[in-house]
Amino acid sequence: MQKGILFIISGPSGVGKGTVAKALLEGSSGGMVFSVSATTRAPRPGEENGREYFFVSREEFDRMIEDGEFLEYMNVFGRNYYGTPRKYVEEQLMLGRDVLLDIDVNGAMKVKENCPEAVAIMLAPPSMKELRRRLETRGTEVQEVIERRLAEAKSELSRMAEYDYVVVNDDLNTAICQCRQIIESAKHTPEYCTEFVNELINEDF
Amino acid sequence: MQKGILFIISGPSGVGKGTVAKALLEGSSGGMVFSVSATTRAPRPGEENGREYFFVSREEFDRMIEDGEFLEYMNVFGRNYYGTPRKYVEEQLMLGRDVLLDIDVNGAMKVKENCPEAVAIMLAPPSMKELRRRLETRGTEVQEVIERRLAEAKSELSRMAEYDYVVVNDDLNTAICQCRQIIESAKHTPEYCTEFVNELINEDF
């Protein structure tokens, strides 16, 4: 069976990663799944282990770090740990499913180091002014945090060359469509088609 | 202005390169042009210099070889020379137009050597049996030539890894659509987006 591909959707805070990722998954007709993260935080009502997150203890998380079981992990606000378990991703890929990972720039670069064959897409805002507008409209952060996010965005965008693709999220539907084209193209690389072409070469004619 | 991209459509004889290339060009709404080859053969009625071909003398062709003006060239049946002039391709790219080159596998590989940034697509048949059927239906070649073409096809397909993409030409419209997705994706590489992202990074916010 043809192995799946790991796609990383990444970019600055406020650029619309989550919305684009959700639309890609919904349009994938089951051939694509979200990566499920592990976390040390407690499950919230309605959350199910293995669906929203793998809920693990701090001791278990430490052991997983120790054993190299994460493609990346981070400590949020010095409290809860979040990480991308390699095992879940690899199992899905082996089942022929593509895996989608919606993640910040630092995390994306760590995953890309651990999985160089992953296809990393940087979502960029059409302008810094528009990114500011989106962060302000979201209304979830105080002004000081917004200024910090904008400064971070510039440093994140400057890592563009480490990505495989850059998509500008100006019009949402256009961005989604461009991501879909990239996802389709990834299935036409020689690495992905080796098995088929080898069969051709060995076919009697 | 954003430079264009050189796309190479290549593959075994009979796979449908010409048909796919023509459809891609027709659907490009003017943003893409065919590469115009130089040849030493005489113009046929209705052919115009610089449109179908650049018609040059044997002496001029030799000088162009000497001066490294070809991305690739070949001698067909030991009689006429055909070549892809670097200058024409580069002029079109500088005008922001994509250039499409429909060429056999040997030629494609020479162009890729001279222009590593070109995007090379290998068109593959769905099966060797189907390739045989297409060559036979075409009815332009005797059986002996068809057998030789099929043997060549295998050796050509085995160079797949030197291409950027592989597209199976089973259903023509599907193949055209997949080539279009690849062409669009090529506009989202970091190299292609450098200018835009640099502007973002330098924008006041």
Q: Which two tokens stand for residue A116?
A: 């160089």
Residues of B in contact with A205 (CB under 8 A): 128-129, 131-132, 150, 154
Locate the chain A residue with the closest alpha carbon to B199.
Answer: A127
State percent of chain B over pLDDT 70: 100
The pLDDT of residue A29: 82
pLDDT exceeds 80 at position A31: yes
The pLDDT of residue A2: 87
The pLDDT of residue A71: 97
Question: Distances in Å between the alpha carbon of A111 and those of A120, B43, B59?
Answer: 9, 57, 57
DSSP conformation letters of B70-136: EEEEEEETTTEEEEEEHHHHHHHHHTT-EEEEE--HHHHHHHHHH-TTSEEEEEE-S-HHHHHHHHH
- The distance of Cα B162 from the centroid of its chain, to the nearest Å, equals 14
Q: What is the pLDDT of residues A99-135, one digit of tens each?
A: 999 999 999 999 999 999 999 999 999 999 999 999 9
Dist. CA B36–CA B89, nearest whole Å: 8
Choose the closest CB to A166 out of B125, B129, B197.
Answer: B197
Choose the closest CB to A160 out of B122, B154, B197.
Answer: B197
Could B200 and A154 be called an inter-chain contact, meaning their C-beta atoms sit closer than 8 Å? yes
3-class SS of residue A48: coil
Would you tell me how many other CB atoms lie within 10 Å of the CB of residue B9?
A: 24
The pLDDT of residue B30: 81
Using the Cα atoms of residue A113, residue A115, residue A117 and residue A118 in order, give the sign of their dihedral: negative
The pLDDT of residue A164: 97
Phi and psi torsions of A165, nearest 5°:
-145, 155
pLDDT exceeds 80 at position A205: no
**Would you say B53 and B37 are in contact if contact means Cβ atoms under 8 Å apart?**
yes
The pLDDT of residue B96: 94
Look at residues A135, A150, A108 and name the one whose alpha carbon lies nearest to residue A21. A108
The pLDDT of residue A119: 98
Question: From the CA of A108, how many Å to the nearest CA of chain B?
Answer: 15
Contact residues of A toward B, CB < 8 A: 121-122, 124-125, 127-129, 131-132, 150, 154, 157-158, 160-168, 178, 181-182, 184-185, 188-190, 192-194, 196-197, 200-201, 203-205
The pLDDT of residue A140: 81
Residues of B in contact with A182 (CB under 8 A): 185, 188
Would you tell me how many other CB atoms lie within 10 Å of the CB of residue A122?
A: 29
Domains of chain A by start residue, with CATH: 6-35+97-202 (3.40.50.300)
The pLDDT of residue A174: 98
State the pLDDT confidence band at A141, using cuts at 50, 70 and 90. confident
* Beta partners for residue B32, in sequence order: B98
Looking at every residue in chain A, the average pLDDT score rounds to 94
According to DSSP, residue B9 is labeled E
Phi and psi torsions of A110, nearest 5°:
-70, -40
Using the Cα atoms of residue B115, residue B181, residue B126 and residue B147 in order, give the sign of their dihedral: negative
3-class SS of residue A101: strand
Can you tell me the ipTM of this complex? 0.90
The pLDDT of residue B179: 98
Dist. CA A151–CA A149, nearest whole Å: 5
Residues of A in contact with B154 (CB under 8 A): 200-201, 205
pLDDT exceeds 80 at position A136: yes
Would you tell me how many other CB atoms lie within 10 Å of the CB of residue A168?
A: 20
Q: Which residues are CB-contacts of B141 (< 8 A; sequence separation ≥ 6)?
A: B135, B149
Q: Which two tokens stand for residue B170?
A: 């089973």
Choose the closest CB to A201 out of B154, B165, B185.
Answer: B154
pLDDT exceeds 80 at position A8: yes
Q: Which residues are CB-contacts of B39 (< 8 A; sequence separation ≥ 6)?
A: B53, B54, B55, B56, B80, B81, B82, B83
pLDDT exceeds 90 at position A170: yes
Dist. CA A128–CA A146, nearest whole Å: 12
The pLDDT of residue A39: 96
Q: What is the pLDDT of residues A146-168, one digit of tens each?
A: 999 999 999 999 999 999 999 99
Q: What is the pLDDT of residues A59-88, one digit of tens each?
A: 999 999 999 999 999 988 788 999 999 999
The pLDDT of residue A139: 79
The pLDDT of residue A138: 85
Burial class from Cβ neighbours inside 10 Å (0-12, 13-18, 19+) for residue B141 reads middle
- The distance of Cα B155 from the centroid of its chain, to the nearest Å, equals 19
Q: Which residues are CB-contacts of B198 (< 8 A; sequence separation ≥ 6)?
A: none
Dist. CA A171–CA A42, nearest whole Å: 37
Quote the strand ranges of A42-109, DSSP E: 53-55, 70-76, 80-85, 98-103
Strands of the sheet containing A119-124, edge to edge, are A32-34, A98-103, A6-10, A119-124, A165-168
**Would you say A102 and A21 are in contact if contact means Cβ atoms under 8 Å apart?**
yes
pLDDT under 70: residue ranges of chain B: none
* Beta partners for residue A84, in sequence order: A72
Question: From the CA of B196, how many Å to the nearest CA of chain A?
Answer: 9
State percent of chain A over pLDDT 70: 100
